Structures are given as structure tokens and as C-alpha cells.
Structure 1
Amino acid sequence: MWKFALHPWSSTSSGSRLRQSEPYANTDGGLAVIGMLIVWTSFIFVVFPMLDLAVTRLFAHGRVFWLMENPFLKAVRDISRQSQIYLLPGMALLIALRAFLPGRLRICPPHKPLFVLLSFAAGPLVIVQILKMIIGRVRPRELVEFGGTADFTPVWQFSAACTRNCSFPSGEAAAAAAALSLLVFVPAKQRWIAAAILTPCLLFVAFNRVIFGAHFLSDVMLGWLLTMFAMTWIWRWVDANARAIDRFFTRLVVR
């Protein structure tokens, strides 16, 4: 999956100019692979809905999720959430600095932080929040089996049991996937090494929500995959228009 999904982000704007005859070749492959993963993941959890409950029960002792108060796991979640408070404004600041100090920040073209911002906006914000409102799936710890009052519903099944802060898909899993957009700042030769280190850490951050009883496994997996799909679409546009984006922000102050 990562070969197709991350390869489009390994290009540079100069590389993009060399590929003008086939500007979307890499992203087409990534979109096809991620799209199939979304379909097959959905199919498995729709056909075998009890798989979600079986995984959730691994972390529940009776009606208590016994790792909810684990200091390490809580710290992992706190760090992942708090990092976004600094990450997103930091990306906006990089774009602003490039506009005001274009000569001093040539190493950071604006299209790269813009890609990160759009990735977080598309996945954790737009896709996740819309689906949460439409699907209305309750969280595992709100089920009768785990001390709540609601009944279990399979993934993609519409439900009126939840009206706000619902379970599907996982916003924190989507944010973890969106954090992979930071690989665009890593030099191309080191990008696969960085991806091999960063990806397992972010997957653990996402799966942490299952351990806490806050999300089903399908919430996490599809939240991740849907965000990756959106990110690949975004990079398809950003990479093709990198020079125009960079010129726009560089000349913004002058205008």
C-alpha cells in the first residue's frame, strides 16, 4: 500500500515538470490501490460485523476497558492531540514567512505546508465530521455489553443512536494518517526510511482508540484509508500546480 500511496509525494516540482506528458501516473496508481483497500475493508466488516466486537472485547474486562488509565497510552494520545495545536499553525506560519521573506525560505516552497494543511482539513475535518453526522454510529463503550445503553450497529449502517461525537470514522485515526503528509518535507532519498519509522508510530496512535474502547477497528481502519485517499487526490492537484502555488504566495505581499 505504502509503495503506491507515498510514491506520488516523493516528487518535487522540478520532477513534476519532467513528467508533464503523464502528470497523474503515480497518483492514479495510489488512488486505485487505496480505493480497493477501502472497498475490501468495508466488505469484510459488513459481511463479518462481529469482528469489530471481537477485537473490542480483547481490551474489555467485563464492562471496563482495563487500559484506559494506562499512563503510557494516555501520554501517547495527549502528545498526538497537542502536537496538532503547534503543527497546523506552524504550517500556516511557514507559508506566511515565505510570502514575507521569499529569499530566505527557498528550502520550503509554500505548496508543501499547504499540502499538509489541506490533508488535515480534508480528512479529520471534512470527511470524518460529515460521516459522523450521517452514519450516527455509537462508540463501543456506549454499548449495552460494555455498560452503556445503545445497541451495536455494523459499519456503514445508518443509525439514529448517536447525534454528536459519534464513532465512525475515527477522527484521531484520520489525523494520524494526515500526519504522513509531513513526509513531503523529507528529502526524497531519505523519505522511505522516514516513512518506515513514522508509519508504525502513527498506526499505534490510531489503534490506541480501539484499546480505549472509543472506536471500533473498522472506525480506525476506514478513517485512516479515507484520509489517505483524500490526501492522494490533494497531492495530485498540489504537485501539478506546485509552481503556480509557490508564485502566488511569493507575490502575495507585493500585490
Structure 2
Amino acid sequence: MTVNSLKMSLYIGIFTIFVSLFFVIFNQIDLLTSARYYTPGLGFTFNNTELATLLKQVVRPSFKLASILCILFILLLSFLMPKTMKAMRKHALFFFTCLALGPALMVEGVLKNVFGRARQQDIIEFGGVLNFSPAWIISGECTKNCSFVSGDVSGIAVLMAVPLIMSRFRLTLTISILALTGLAMTYRVVAGKHFLSDSVIAACLTIGLVYFIHYLFYQRQKKNIKAFETEKPGKKQTSQPT
């Protein structure tokens, strides 16, 4: 079944606006959610578990490295074997563009630096010295590697690009990636690294961007071709004398 990526990106964009307004108006939800995993004097205790150590030292760096190496490998093969790997080259460029414009530029390059939101573990309510600020509010509390939005969640959510270029198992892959994104969101909140709004908004923005880039790569050209074909003048009909 063909997905209309432009409509999907629009729907996700509208949903992101409503979700953002909810977190801005009811900003105490971020504090209440984080407080469930914070113990006074001990901090966010999940970070003391073996699972947290495994995720931080092994899973996170391995996942990032594997994503980069896969893209580079496909790009290399596509240029070494241009005829047989033409489609794969386009897919690799699509995925690379999603990574570059999503987690790299939008999240790490712009949002984190512009809004300067302090992380949970650094604010006064959770034993830190910085002030809490709601989502989408420019605070300047943080100057580097800030909280809004989550780069880890964005890095997982960008995998939604994969089912968009798969003809088989699309629904299964979509559900799996959404579930994995949800786990990443939970991990970052429980570990005291991001607020709930950081994670939710990061996922929405990234997935919406992925659908829009997919439209530009795969559907815009087809749409223009169809429009051009419909504008071609038809054959003139000659009337027979009566």
C-alpha cells in the first residue's frame, strides 16, 4: 500500500503543534513525570543499574557507529557498482539525508543550542543548580549539550525511513521502530537525561521530517510527471461531414 508522505508529514506536524501546546500549558507534567524516578540524596537511581551502564557504554555508541558504517558501506557499493546498486544508492542518500537534517542539524545543531533547556539532573528540583524551563521556551540555562530535544530519541525515530523504502514487512517494521522509539523515550526520562516533552517532541519532529524528505525523494517527481502528462493536449478529432 502506497503511503502519501506529504499528507502524513502534515498530519504529524499538526499533531506536534497540539502536543507542544499541551506541554507548554501543562509544563508541570515534565516535573511530575521525572519526580517518579528521582530519589532525594541518591538522584536518578536507574543510572546505578547494570542495564544503564550497558546502554550507556555499549548499546548507544554501537548503534550510532553501526548506522554510519551501514550508510557508508551502501554508498561505497553503489558507486563501485552503479548499474546494479542504483536503487540502493538512492535509498542510502535518502537515509543519510534524514540523519543529517534530523538528529544532526535540527536536533543537535539548532534546537539544543537555541533553547538552552537544562536537563533534569541539573535543575534545582532534582539536586542541581539550574532553573526549570518548559518546552519551546528559550531559557539560556544550558550552553552545551542541552535537554530540548532528545538526540537519542531522534536517532531512533529516524529509522522510520527504513519501512518507507521497504515493499515487504512495512507494517511490522513500522510497529517495531515505534516500539523501539518508545523504549528510548522511557530510558532517557528514567535516567534523568531528558524530560518527557523532550522525548515526545523529538520523536514527532523527526518522524514528520522523515515523511517529508521521503515525499521529496520518491513522490514529488512522480507527482510532477503525472501532472505533466495530464496537461498534454489530446489528439484533435476531425468531424465527419454529414
> Which of 30, 36, 55 is residue 52 of structure 1 equivalent to?
30
- Which string of whole-angstrom CA distances, capped at 9 and with x for unpartnered residues, describes residues 110-161 of structure 1? 1111111111111111111211111111001001121110111111111121
Question: Is 1:93–2:105 an aligned residue pair?
Answer: no
130-139 or 193-202: bigger deviation: 193-202
C-alpha separation between the residues in 1 aligned to 2:221 and 2:165?
Answer: 14
User: Displacement of 1:198 after TM fit?
Assistant: 2.9
Specify the alignment match of 2:206 in structure 1: 227
Letter paired with 1:151 = N
CA RMSD of aligned residues (A): 2.1
Structure 2, unpaired ranges of 5+: 223-242
Is this contact kept in 1: 2:163–2:169, CA < 8 A?
A: no
**In structure 1, what residue type is equivalent to 2:175?**
A
Using structure 1 for the length normalisation, give the TM-score: 0.79
Q: 1:157 — aligned with what?
A: 137
Q: Secondary structure at the match of 2:33?
A: helix
User: In the aligned structure 2, how far is the partner of 1:242 from the partner of 1:162?
Assistant: 42
Contact kept in structure 1, 2:156 and 2:177, CA below 8 Å: no
Alignment of 1:1-255 (within 5 A): 8=3, 26-63=4-41, 64-77=43-56, 78-105=58-85, 108-129=87-108, 130-184=110-164, 186=166, 188-240=167-219
Letter matched to residue 100 of structure 1: L
Compute the displacement of 1:67 (Å).
Answer: 0.6
Identity %: 24
Q: How far did residue 79 of structure 1 move?
A: 1.4
Closer, same or farther: CA 40–81 of 1 in aligned 2, 3 Å? farther
SS at match of 2:153: helix
Determine the C-alpha separation between the residues in 1 that align with 2:113 and 2:68. 24
TM score, norm. by length of structure 2: 0.83
The code of the aligned residue for 2:162 comes to L
CA distance in structure 2 between the aligned counterparts of 1:30 and 1:40, rounded to whole angstroms: 16
Q: Residues 75 and 92 of structure 2 are in contact (CA less than 8 Å); yes or no, is this contact kept in structure 1?
A: yes
Q: Which has more radius of gyration?
A: 2
